Structure 1
Amino acid sequence: MKPIKSQFLGAFALMLAAVSAPSYADWAQSIYPNYTPPRPASGQVQAQNPPAFTWSKYPYDPSLYVVKIMSGTTVVGTYTVSRSFYLPEAPLPTGTYTWQVTPAGTLSTGAPAPTAWSDPRTFTVDATATMFIVPSDASLAGTIQARARPRQLPSNFTPVSGWSTGMHTDRDAALSSLQTEVTGRITSLATLSDSLWPLVISSPLTSAMVAQQNDVRTQIGLASRQLEASALLYRLTGNTTYLNEAFRRGDELTKLSPLGPTSYTNQDQATRQITLALLKAYDFLKPEIEAADAATPTLQRKLNWMNAVNARMVDIYGDLARNSFRLDQAPYDSHGSTLLGYAAAISTLALGEPNMPNAMTWFTGSFRAYVNWVSIWAGPEGGFADGTAYGQYSLDYSLQLWQPLKQATGIDLFSKPWSLGLSKFFMHFQPPGAPGHVFGDEHDVLTQPTLMKAFASRFSTPYAAWYVSRLSGSTENAVTLLEAEYPLPVTKATSMAAPPNGALYPSIGWAAMLSDINNTNRTAVYFKSSPYGSYNHSHLDQNSLVIDSGGKRLLTEAGYSDYYYSPLAVSWFRTTKAKNAITFDGGVGQVANSDGWRNLLNNGKITAFSTSSTLDYVEGDATAAYNDTLATSPVLSQAVRKVWYLRDQDVVLVVDKLNAPLPHTYEWNLHSMYSTASATAGTSSFTTSGLKVRINNEGRTLCLNSLSTDVALQPRTGAPSKTGITENHMAYTKLAPATAGEFIVVASVGCRNTSATISTTSSGRTVTLVSTSPTGAVLSRDILIGN
């Protein structure tokens, strides 16, 4: 992310005032969209009790802040903190409150901080809020150090020799699988050394550099897993083969230079993985490591391992702490926010070790900040703005980090409202039998239901029980399962229920409309118009659609990425023309800014949503996504899409309204794909007739028809498809340039007989849809689409 230059401040502030003025003009609400917003926002009912407080930093970085919470005119309390967030140590009684914050102490200039109270913001805590209590850092540190090692394992952890019949039934398969994996890799896994990666990483990255970085990540991932798995198996079985393998792999990782190809600068993911794996293994094997050192004083394994951790934490913690803890002010950093979780887990396992004197500094600098946020990619209702692929990766990190944190600290991050909402989010956007990911980077990679099932199994809700039962064919990562509490929380659910068929995740601007979430033959209609814009791993896809049927993708997002922000990704994969969305003038789409933070302003928003047993409706406004925020006039003055899903008819109606100061030729893009390997003879992805399109993906069909007659149906050319995939691209294109444009498209899932007519009444235009339902009944519905 590029630094913000102060000379742009005045002009940018005026621009923001014109297009997206915040509700409060005080200092706690930064004009920069990538800076921390004040939370609780005014008027919010809190999902968590006590609420998490955040605000943008006061200029010149004061050394302290004072937070004031009031109930009416009564001051509930004032709290002095050294960072720009506050997580209370006790819940608040139900009621309505206001809060303010002021700088205190001294500024970075050395001058005393002025008294400058932020505007008051009101919030409510009611009985529905989830309790999430985090004691003081000092209290937590005492709890952690009082835990016997391995402090990362449940207090009732039992070696295999003491397993009950139930544990054998539940975990024998995982144990056997992990033993086979570790034993095989004793001989097959390469011995690592810095010489394996000779390229010097520099900017700009070349494809060879990217390939080396990927190989570093892969090889370090395998070696780190082998270290942790071997140590765990020794703790479970007492077999010294695993102990010796853990010693060997740990020693090998310590010999990699923290300044070499696995350095934080070259491969931050490798550095964090090495550091955490060494501490996890040490936590498992501390008595054995110390005994071996005592028997052979020249060995110094413990010192070597601790020195390696210390050396790598210089870079890890140094990056997190720079600019007075940079993530406090600019949290929208996917690697940084994950790294904060790693630092919290590393410091938790390191506390109390004389060879790691900085562990308490690491802990106080990372733990509370991490649990205060956990994720900045959604609000408390859950979700993951960067897409389900990167959300899937976050599940993996969560299982690796949250389980040891829960056992060592007593703080259960699975109990945060956002965590529960994230699990529900996957139920809607990756329901059982889903054909692929949706929205964002790596939507083209394979889904991993294993991770979704494992994450959901950490909740004891009826929805979690349903999801886990429907993903029964997936086997969890043996390491996280064998480290988990027994029995898993999901087994304690008292009932099982599928989540609703329609759902909105407002903080990320995603809507799901499913025919029957409980049926793998379902139709799934996904819509996105996100306030996160195309920031980070999100794409230029506001007001875009994806449609699935029976586990096959019918309207798809096109393309693939060879690496993050590659030329292929920038020219095709991330663009609007590769989505089922609106472009104009030959594929011109939404704005991508070289200053990444500005992409948060080129965004969308959900302006309406409703759901019922027979009809779902969502409306998105993507106008801001098409306009450069620094331009003097907009390119488009309106880009609104309305989508109705007629659940009883299995029909989708889409209406787009476009306006602009100057004439444009508008385009309604649509894409399909199918696997070359699995396609039956004669399968054709696209067939067309007039303004009608038929999409066929291995017997699952979607027929689209334009009710707007001032369009032509034209083929489009995209980038080469991923190996083994065939893609087709088309667009309904307006016949002539105009300042205003409208598209009305009907999509019938299953291509059942559907007729659509438009009439004008005193209430406005109405589309009448008559179709044969999946059950064979003839159904009719009038949809008022406006003037």
Structure 2
Amino acid sequence: MPFNTSRLARHALLIAAAVVWIPCHADWAQSTDPLATRPLPTNLEAQAQNPPAFSWSRHGTNPSAYVLEISGPTAGKITTVTVLKNWYWPARAMTAGTYSWRVRPATTQEWSTPRSFVLNASSAVFEVPESAVMRASILSRPRPRAMPAGMPVRSAWSAAMVAERGGALTRLMADVKRVITSEPPVKDSMWKLTTTKVVTADVNAQWSNIRTHVNIVRRQLEAAALVFRLTGDRAYLGEALLRGDQLAGLSPAGPTGYAQFDIITLPIAASLLKAADFLAADLDATRRAAWVKNAGQRAADVYNDLSSKNGWLDQMPFDEHGGSNLGYLAMVATLALGDVPAAVDWFDFSFRNYVNYIFHWSGPEGGYSNGTAYGQYAIDAALQVWQPMSTATGIDIFSKPWTRGFLQFFMHFTPPGTPSHTFGDGNEETPDLRYMKALASRVNSPQAAWFYKNIAGDEDPLTQLQIAYPLPVLRATSSAPPPNSAYYPSIGWAAIHSNIADRARTSFYFKSSPYGSFNHSHGDQNGFTLNRGGRKLLIGTGWYDWYNSPMWTDWYRATKSKNAVTFDGGQGQRTEGYKEPMVRNGKIVGFSASTAVDFVEGDATAAFAGALTSARRQVWYLRSQDAFVVLDKLASATARTFEWNLHAPVAINVSGTGEAKIVNIDQSVCVRPIPNSSGQVYKSIVGPAPKPGSTEFHGAYVKTSALKSAEFLMLLDVGCKHPVVSLTTTSNGRSLTVGTQSITLQP
């Protein structure tokens, strides 16, 4: 039987994890496997969401049920619930106050360690009813379920609605007409069944080809069905029927099936069911049955996998494909209720679980540890999934507190005018901010309004025409940018901007992540990038040709390709993708922001997997000087030759004093070793060929002898203003003055 290699990797992890679950230690709710689900909430943390979700790692005896006990804030009041999963999400908001909780297997008295949390005025209420209540509500809603209630046909639009949506409808109609003649039918014979268990260049190329052609036809099906729904023009109905039949003709056991390409099968099912929903009574019974049957077979394949091992994703949540498929399954189930008997089980298994799950690539403050490029892809999928789910159920997923934090994350790391993505796979690409604008359009807040108004272009008209009128963001009564600097603790990212509202801004991005180099993350703990005025100055290098390629493995993800520290000829942090156990990681241990100085400190010691005994980096942003001071302190049990790497998209010119100057058209930075940071020389480095059409230059400040401990003290002089710099020793450590600003370097 052929297998998708990404599924093999996940299942290998599950087998390994199963071995870890068996032993029970003092606090069994905290697994010894770092990839297992974590007990939450904890540490007396104020919760972003009310009610919060409770989670814990499974007990080694794998019981059929758990007893959860929640106490507080009323003295003596204890709520006890029995659940079948290792998570629980109350359906109603809880009273503000301080709480404690613990859990045990239903068959024993082995309580977990109590954990506490706080609900206060900042904890936004976000309630999702129990599954049976939602199912009844969905079934009571006439089709199309995925269209906002009362959405009129185009001929009945008001002048204001035409002004807001008329352009989108015109563009979508043009899109459909163009694809009618440009895209041939899709059929299984276009691709071969994959028998290899290894991701090769050929396998990756086939997946890319399937994704390209299937997604064009999927969009064409949904777009033609929607245009017909809004206009009544039967030419669009004919195109929708043609494309729907093509997708329904693809075998769930063929190249687009779950066993072959796990992340394309449910999008096919989702498009078939969404189109059937849009067309409602205009779809003949025979055709509807064929579409629904194909979608149901695909959904059953995914459900059978995700529900195995009592829902393996509940225990091993750090799985990007699994999380995406859980979301698509929830959407498919929502639209299939009443047509497919099994959809009841699919819905009860997936809907509340998925809305709670969004996303395990950050904590409740929002963010995306895999990088903003993969975060952008997540927005694309979310718009396709969340919109119909929200409309059909009345649960506005875009109002979930995590979603608002996710949006603010993009404001900080892909602000208007940004030249490239930040960290992770695809970081070298230019962001398509229309996706971020689409996400912002669904949020009513001053910051969303600022972001939305400052992004040029329009979102995909297919998604825009499915939002209730008027756009939520247009109801915001004010507009304001987010803070200039921010720290996202759960992913270990920090952003420092001179003025986020100014496109000429200086932008510094720092990462020291507890996710380490897991999945699409890189070995760049304590690494940074620097932009100014929309120009890239200091960058991560290499490019994302395909997952697990030689480029990806040997350079792109490696520490030596980043603005980070290596030793002994480019040796760096451990990077092993899905095999990375998320313990060779980093952490931000200090962050502060003010009108004068911003500060961030990272500890990447664990990322070096024992090769170093200390790897800490401190960064100060001196706002009045528009300059950064970077201090690295390194230690090793073995003497090593340390290297301070820097990379740029243009030539690096080094002066006789050791200053490296980087000029990208009209923006520049000078990297300058600070006096008393001696014993090092600058060396140019030869890297692999960059992505066609781009240039990259590499260098490093290298210690002239092997040392057990070392320090690099560097100035990033944005604009190459060459301020006067002095470093003096004081009773409290060292005082560094750059121009008119001074900071204290702790010993």
> What amino acid maps onto 1:441 in structure 2?
D
Work out whether residues 199 and 209 of structure 1, in 8 Å CA contact, stay in contact via their aligned partners in 2.
Answer: no
1:568 to 543, 548, 551: 551
- 129 and 758 in structure 1: CA distance in 2 versus 1, 3 angstrom threshold: same
The 1-side partners of 2:701 and 2:165 are apart by: 54
> What amino acid maps onto 1:410 in structure 2?
G
For residues 165-188 of structure 1, give each alpha carbon's deviation from its aligned partner in whole angstroms, at most 9, with x where no partner exists. Answer: 111111111111110110121122
- 8 and 785 in structure 1: CA distance in 2 versus 1, 3 angstrom threshold: farther
Partner of 1:785: 745
1:551 to 529, 534, 549: 534
- 77 and 13 in structure 1: CA distance in 2 versus 1, 3 angstrom threshold: closer
Structural mapping, 1:360-375, within 5 Å? 360-375=344-359
Determine helix, strand or coil for the equivalent of 2:348: helix
The 2-side partners of 1:423 and 1:78 are apart by: 35
1:98 to 92, 97, 100: 100
The 2-side partners of 1:364 and 1:412 are apart by: 18
Following TM superposition, by how much is the alpha carbon of 1:753 offset from its aligned partner in structure 2, in angstroms?
A: 2.3
Partner of 1:773: none
For residues 515-543 of structure 1, give each alpha carbon's deviation from its aligned partner in whole angstroms, at most 9, with x where no partner exists. Answer: 01111000001100001101111100000
The 2-side partners of 1:125 and 1:642 are apart by: 33
Partner of 2:4: none
1:657 to 618, 626, 633: 633
The 2-side partners of 1:663 and 1:310 are apart by: 61
The 2-side partners of 1:139 and 1:4 are apart by: 33
Following TM superposition, by how much is the alpha carbon of 1:25 offset from its aligned partner in structure 2, in angstroms?
A: 4.1
For residues 676-709 of structure 1, give each alpha carbon's deviation from its aligned partner in whole angstroms, at most 9, with x where no partner exists. Answer: xxxxxxxx45444331000011121100111212
1:756 to 701, 725, 742: 725
> What amino acid maps onto 2:136 in structure 1?
G
1:460 to 420, 444, 451: 444
Determine helix, strand or coil for the equivalent of 2:548: coil
For residues 115-159 of structure 1, give each alpha carbon's deviation from its aligned partner in whole angstroms, at most 9, with x where no partner exists. Answer: 322111111111211001111111000011111111111112111
- 11 and 458 in structure 1: CA distance in 2 versus 1, 3 angstrom threshold: closer
- 594 and 139 in structure 1: CA distance in 2 versus 1, 3 angstrom threshold: closer
Structural mapping, 1:727-746, within 5 Å? 727-746=696-715
Work out whether residues 520 and 577 of structure 2, in 8 Å CA contact, stay in contact via their aligned partners in 1.
Answer: no
The 1-side partners of 2:287 and 2:525 are apart by: 54
Determine whether 1:533 maps to 2:516.
Answer: yes
Determine whether 1:173 maps to 2:167.
Answer: yes
Identity of aligned residues (%): 44
Work out whether residues 33 and 597 of structure 1, in 8 Å CA contact, stay in contact via their aligned partners in 2.
Answer: no
Determine whether 1:328 maps to 2:338.
Answer: no
Work out whether residues 685 and 697 of structure 1, in 8 Å CA contact, stay in contact via their aligned partners in 2.
Answer: no
Following TM superposition, by how much is the alpha carbon of 1:4 offset from its aligned partner in structure 2, in angstroms?
A: 6.0
For residues 692-742 of structure 1, give each alpha carbon's deviation from its aligned partner in whole angstroms, at most 9, with x where no partner exists. Answer: 000011121100111212100000111110011110000000000010000
Following TM superposition, by how much is the alpha carbon of 1:199 offset from its aligned partner in structure 2, in angstroms?
A: 5.3
Work out whether residues 672 and 686 of structure 1, in 8 Å CA contact, stay in contact via their aligned partners in 2.
Answer: no
- 11 and 208 in structure 1: CA distance in 2 versus 1, 3 angstrom threshold: closer
Partner of 2:332: 346
The 1-side partners of 2:668 and 2:26 are apart by: 52
The 2-side partners of 1:449 and 1:688 are apart by: 38
Work out whether residues 64 and 84 of structure 2, in 8 Å CA contact, stay in contact via their aligned partners in 1.
Answer: yes
Partner of 1:306: 292
Determine whether 1:249 maps to 2:221.
Answer: no
Determine helix, strand or coil for the equivalent of 1:363: helix
Work out whether residues 458 and 489 of structure 1, in 8 Å CA contact, stay in contact via their aligned partners in 2.
Answer: yes
Determine whether 1:83 maps to 2:85.
Answer: yes
Work out whether residues 703 and 751 of structure 1, in 8 Å CA contact, stay in contact via their aligned partners in 2.
Answer: yes
Determine whether 1:524 maps to 2:507.
Answer: yes
For residues 50-74 of structure 1, give each alpha carbon's deviation from its aligned partner in whole angstroms, at most 9, with x where no partner exists. Answer: 1111111112321111211111652
Determine helix, strand or coil for the equivalent of 2:668: strand
> What amino acid maps onto 1:234 in structure 2?
F
- 263 and 483 in structure 1: CA distance in 2 versus 1, 3 angstrom threshold: same
Partner of 1:677: none
> What amino acid maps onto 2:603 in structure 1?
D
1:493 to 476, 500, 524: 476
Q: Which moved more, 1:327-336 or 1:204-213?
A: 204-213
2:435 to 432, 439, 451: 451
2:617 to 626, 629, 641: 641
Q: Which moved more, 1:748-757 or 1:30-39?
A: 748-757
Q: Which moved more, 1:395-404 or 1:540-549?
A: 395-404
- 8 and 757 in structure 1: CA distance in 2 versus 1, 3 angstrom threshold: farther
Alpha-carbon RMSD:
1.7
The 2-side partners of 1:348 and 1:462 are apart by: 32
Work out whether residues 686 and 728 of structure 1, in 8 Å CA contact, stay in contact via their aligned partners in 2.
Answer: no
The 1-side partners of 2:315 and 2:600 are apart by: 33
Determine helix, strand or coil for the equivalent of 1:483: coil
Determine whether 1:767 maps to 2:739.
Answer: no
For residues 750-773 of structure 1, give each alpha carbon's deviation from its aligned partner in whole angstroms, at most 9, with x where no partner exists. Answer: 111222221101011111111xxx
Work out whether residues 13 and 31 of structure 1, in 8 Å CA contact, stay in contact via their aligned partners in 2.
Answer: no
The 1-side partners of 2:218 and 2:507 are apart by: 39
Following TM superposition, by how much is the alpha carbon of 1:201 offset from its aligned partner in structure 2, in angstroms?
A: 4.3
Partner of 2:595: 613
Determine helix, strand or coil for the equivalent of 1:435: coil
Work out whether residues 210 and 256 of structure 2, in 8 Å CA contact, stay in contact via their aligned partners in 1.
Answer: yes
- 149 and 4 in structure 1: CA distance in 2 versus 1, 3 angstrom threshold: closer
Work out whether residues 68 and 75 of structure 1, in 8 Å CA contact, stay in contact via their aligned partners in 2.
Answer: no
Partner of 2:66: 65
Determine whether 1:588 maps to 2:571.
Answer: yes
> What amino acid maps onto 1:694 in structure 2?
K
The 2-side partners of 1:94 and 1:480 are apart by: 37
- 146 and 12 in structure 1: CA distance in 2 versus 1, 3 angstrom threshold: closer
2:135 to 141, 147, 151: 141
Following TM superposition, by how much is the alpha carbon of 1:597 offset from its aligned partner in structure 2, in angstroms?
A: 4.4
Determine whether 1:152 maps to 2:119.
Answer: no
Determine helix, strand or coil for the equivalent of 2:81: strand
The 1-side partners of 2:255 and 2:654 are apart by: 51
The 2-side partners of 1:328 and 1:62 are apart by: 14
The 1-side partners of 2:562 and 2:348 are apart by: 44
Determine helix, strand or coil for the equivalent of 1:332: coil
Determine whether 1:236 maps to 2:196.
Answer: no
The 2-side partners of 1:277 and 1:363 are apart by: 17
2:667 to 680, 694, 700: 700
Partner of 1:775: none
The 2-side partners of 1:8 and 1:360 are apart by: 29
Partner of 1:712: 681
Following TM superposition, by how much is the alpha carbon of 1:284 offset from its aligned partner in structure 2, in angstroms?
A: 0.8
The 2-side partners of 1:56 and 1:606 are apart by: 25
The 2-side partners of 1:135 and 1:562 are apart by: 43
1:505 to 468, 484, 488: 488
> What amino acid maps onto 1:78 in structure 2?
T
Work out whether residues 23 and 60 of structure 2, in 8 Å CA contact, stay in contact via their aligned partners in 1.
Answer: no
Work out whether residues 665 and 736 of structure 1, in 8 Å CA contact, stay in contact via their aligned partners in 2.
Answer: yes
Structural mapping, 1:596-611, within 5 Å? 596-598=579-581, 600-611=582-593
> What amino acid maps onto 2:633 in structure 1?
K
Determine helix, strand or coil for the equivalent of 2:148: coil
The 1-side partners of 2:738 and 2:246 are apart by: 67
Work out whether residues 705 and 745 of structure 1, in 8 Å CA contact, stay in contact via their aligned partners in 2.
Answer: yes
The 2-side partners of 1:238 and 1:43 are apart by: 56
The 1-side partners of 2:330 and 2:463 are apart by: 18
Work out whether residues 429 and 512 of structure 1, in 8 Å CA contact, stay in contact via their aligned partners in 2.
Answer: yes
> Structure 2: where are the runs of 5+ without partners?
1-9
Work out whether residues 405 and 411 of structure 1, in 8 Å CA contact, stay in contact via their aligned partners in 2.
Answer: yes
The 2-side partners of 1:643 and 1:696 are apart by: 22
Following TM superposition, by how much is the alpha carbon of 1:286 offset from its aligned partner in structure 2, in angstroms?
A: 2.2
